[in-house]
């Protein structure tokens, strides 16, 4: 930077953070630094100012984007003069997620959910123990503790279990589960834990009928006891988990309606589980619906993503379609970044589209996250950062994204992943064609437990690298 003989260019930075533990005294004011500084040097500088015992790796944001080169390059790129005082926000750098444990199954695992022990989670139990719920292609749900012991397994088909692959399952509360299946049903279960560590029991409570195709995924809202389901039959189902509030089941869709089914059922069935129908079926999509979710602040609003390339917004009270956003690919997964007013939709086109569903939004896609080599079939929000996101793909990886890590592309803003989590079962094998044998089907991100993913490799894999855990990793580093 420095011209021959001249002094090095300097720039004034106003350093701020939202992390109270890392805040510099307000009296500090803007500081003058060489404009050639990069992230690492800035991180060292702030750590020195803070007087931290062990250095905390920091990232720097200028105008909502991460500093990836030098401050000088930034000034040049945006045409700022070195006279300006730059407002710079700093955040803890995410610690790379490392493998913690894998839970082995007998068959492909389709999805996973965590009952958090963190008190901020409304669903959390107060024992300080996480519970992991896995859904398996073998037709069973399993509840695990964090030391990879199975605490309970759902019953077999003859005892009221799913008659085909389980596609998704969620904790509605510490004692209630909801699942969906290729058998076109949504099921509600009671989970009773017998003592702290002993085995528990998963007992069928309700069988919900109404879908004509596989139920691909479900979302639950504990306070209102509502379920949203996404089905291959093009509809979104709205259901009550309460037997007394749910309408009668449609007779033509019960297993007893099929000649073959009734024969089998009479022979096999040992238990009778109450059967109910949907509160409503939301119809507008023209192809399979892959995922439906509740708005995290306003549970009377729902969103759905479909193979028909659209994300739709629904008023769940009136069942009215409120909004449709059309993208260029079949959409296979959906989650919300509520603080940013964005929806994230994973696509068959190997990317994640960030969509602002509000009326005022003028562009369909605010940003595209690129990097996966295959369809993106599962998404979850970072429990600790409004900007964080995890994606699971048929390429056999999960990717961690920070939507502030981005660059301008020829068709809008493009985000790049900050970490890639591979399957432990495929470590060192490089990229596997079509993700054969290691496709990720589901991913979930828990504050305490970390990133939990379900795969064709018959394992639930846990990777951790943030929050309290970061201190341990730093010691190792």
Partner 1 sequence: NIDPESLLPKLPSPEELRPFPTTCGIIYRGHKGRVRSLSVDPSGLWLASGGDDGTVRVWQLDTGRQIWSVSLSSDEAVNVVRWRPGKDAFILAVAVGDHVYLCVPPICDPDLEGASLEVLDAGWGYSSSTSTTKLPLTWTRPSNKLSDNGVHALISLGHTAKTVSFHRRGDYFVTVCPAPSTPSSSAIAIHTLSKHLTQYPFRRRLKGGGPPQTAHFHPSKPILFVANQRSIRAYDLSRQSLLKILQPGARWISSFDIHPTSSAISGSDNLIAGSYDRRLLWHDLDLSPRPYKTLRYHQKAIRAVKFHPSGQYPLFADASDDGTVQVFHGEVVADMMSNARIVPLKVLKGHKVVGDLGVLDIDWHPVEPWIVSAGGDGTCRLWR
Per the CB < 8 A criterion, the answer to whether 356 and 348 are in contact is no
Closest CB to Mg ion among 146 and 235?
235
Q: Which one among 240, 280, 374, 417 touches partner 1, defined by CB under 8 A?
A: 374
Closest CB to Mg ion among 112 and 418?
112
Size of the site for Mg ion (CB under 5 A): 3
Closest CB to partner 1 among 232 and 426?
232
Q: Cα-atom radius of gyration of the chain, to the nearest Å?
A: 24
Q: Which stretch binds Mg ion (CB under 5 A): 192-200, 306-314, 325-333, 396-404?
A: 325-333
Q: Which stretch binds partner 1 (CB under 8 A): 89-97, 123-131, 251-259, 415-423?
A: 251-259
In whole angstroms, the minimum distance from the beta carbon of 287 to Mg ion comes to 15
SS3 label, residue 27: helix
**213 touches, from partner 1, Mg ion, none (C-beta below 5 to 8 Å by class):** partner 1
- Would residue 434 be called left, alpha or beta, if left means φ above 0 and alpha means ψ between -120 and 50 degrees? left
> Tokens 């017998």 belong to which residue?
194
Contacts of partner 1 in 299-338 (CB under 8 A): 307, 328-330, 332
Q: Which stretch binds partner 1 (CB under 8 A): 22-30, 239-247, 431-439, 444-452?
A: 431-439
For every residue of 170-235, DSSP letters joined together read EEEETTEEEEEETTS-EEEEEEE--SSSS--EEEEEEEE---SS-EEEEEEETTTTEEEEEETTSE
SS3 label, residue 49: helix
Contacts of partner 1 in 126-145 (CB under 8 A): 137
Tokens of 297: 């602040």
Q: Which one among 18, 20, 54, 260 touches partner 1, defined by CB under 8 A?
A: 260
Closest CB to partner 1 among 211 and 353?
211
434 binds partner 1 (CB under 8 A): yes
Contacts of partner 1 in 164-203 (CB under 8 A): 164-165, 182, 184
**141 touches, from partner 1, Mg ion, none (C-beta below 5 to 8 Å by class):** none
Q: Which stretch binds Mg ion (CB under 5 A): 112-120, 190-198, 350-358, 375-383?
A: 375-383
Element (H, E) at 44: helix 39-50
CA dist 420 and 270 (Å) reads 46
Q: What does the chain come to in residues?
A: 477
Closest CB to partner 1 among 91 and 289?
289
Per the CB < 8 A criterion, the answer to whether 286 and 245 are in contact is no
Closest CB to partner 1 among 289 and 342?
289
Size of the site for partner 1 (CB under 8 A): 41
82 binds partner 1 (CB under 8 A): no
Closest CB to partner 1 among 172 and 375?
375
Q: Supply angle C-alpha 50, 52, 53, rounded to 5.
A: 160
- 457 alpha-carbon distance from chain centroid: 20
Closest CB to partner 1 among 77 and 434?
434
CA dist 133 and 329 (Å) reads 30
Q: Which one among 122, 196, 360, 433 touches partner 1, defined by CB under 8 A?
A: 433
- 419 alpha-carbon distance from chain centroid: 15
Per the CB < 8 A criterion, the answer to whether 400 and 388 are in contact is yes
Q: Which one among 4, 27, 120, 252 touches partner 1, defined by CB under 8 A?
A: 252
Q: Buried b vs exposed e over 89-121: b needs ≥16 C-beta within 10 Å?
A: bbbbbbbbbebbbbbebeebbbbbbbbbbeeeb
394 binds partner 1 (CB under 8 A): yes
Contacts of partner 1 in 13-32 (CB under 8 A): none
For every residue of 265-295, DSSP letters joined together read HHHH------EE--SEEEE--SS-EEEEEE-
User: Where along the sequence are the contacts to partner 1 (CB under 8 A)?
Assistant: 108, 137, 164-165, 182, 184, 211-214, 232-233, 252-255, 257-261, 287-288, 307, 328-330, 332, 348-350, 373-375, 394, 433-434, 436, 439, 441, 456
User: Where along the sequence are the contacts to Mg ion (CB under 5 A)?
Assistant: 333, 377-378
């Amino acid at each position: 930077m420095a011209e021959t003989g001249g002094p090095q260019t300097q720039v004034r930075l106003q350093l701020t953070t939202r992390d109270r533990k890392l805040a510099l005294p307000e009296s500090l004011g803007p500081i003058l630094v060489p404009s050639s500084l990069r992230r690492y040097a800035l991180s060292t500088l702030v750590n020195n100012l803070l007087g931290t015992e062990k250095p905390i790796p920091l990232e720097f944001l200028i105008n909502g984007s991460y500093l990836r080169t030098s401050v000088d390059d930034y000034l040049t790129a945006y045409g700022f003069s070195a006279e300006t005082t730059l407002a710079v926000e700093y955040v803890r750098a995410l610690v790379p997620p490392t493998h913690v444990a894998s839970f082995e199954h007998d068959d492909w695992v389709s999805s996973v959910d965590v009952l958090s022990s963190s008190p901020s989670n409304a669903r959390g139990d107060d024992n300080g123990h996480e519970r992991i719920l896995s859904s398996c292609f073998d037709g069973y749900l399993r509840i695990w503790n964090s030391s990879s012991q199975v605490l309970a397994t759902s019953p077999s088909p003859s005892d009221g279990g799913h008659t085909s692959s389980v596609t998704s399952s969620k904790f509605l509360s510490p004692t209630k589960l909801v699942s969906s299946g290729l058998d076109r049903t949504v099921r509600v279960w009671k989970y009773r834990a017998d003592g702290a560590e002993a085995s528990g029991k998963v007992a069928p409570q309700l069988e919900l009928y109404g879908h004509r195709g596989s139920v691909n995924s479900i979302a639950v809202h504990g306070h209102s006891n509502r379920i949203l389901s996404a089905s291959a039959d093009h509809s979104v189902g709205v259901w009550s988990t309460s037997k007394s509030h749910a309408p009668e089941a449609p007779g033509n869709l019960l297993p007893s309606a099929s000649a073959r089914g009734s024969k089998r059922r009479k022979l096999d069935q040992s238990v009778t589980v109450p059967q109910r129908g949907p509160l409503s079926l939301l119809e507008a999509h023209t192809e399979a619906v892959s995922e439906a979710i509740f708005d995290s602040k306003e549970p009377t609003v729902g969103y759905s993503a479909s193979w028909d390339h659209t994300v739709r917004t629904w008023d769940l009270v009136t069942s009215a379609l409120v909004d449709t956003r059309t993208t260029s690919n079949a959409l296979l997964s959906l989650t919300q970044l509520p603080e940013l007013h964005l929806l994230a939709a994973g696509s068959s086109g190997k990317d994640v589209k960030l969509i602002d569903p509000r009326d005022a939004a003028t562009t369909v896609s605010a940003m595209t996250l690129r990097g996966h080599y295959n369809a993106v079939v599962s998404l979850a929000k970072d429990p600790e950062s409004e900007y964080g996101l995890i994606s699971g793909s048929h390429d056999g990886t999960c990717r961690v994204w920070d939507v502030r890590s981005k660059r301008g592309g020829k068709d809008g803003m493009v985000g790049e992943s900050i970490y890639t989590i591979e399957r432990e079962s495929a470590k060192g094998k490089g990229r596997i064609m079509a993700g054969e044998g290691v496709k990720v089907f589901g991913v979930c991100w828990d504050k305490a437990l970390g990133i939990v993913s379900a795969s064709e490799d018959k394992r639930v894999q846990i990777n951790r690298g943030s929050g309290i855990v970061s201190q341990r990793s730093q010691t190792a580093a």
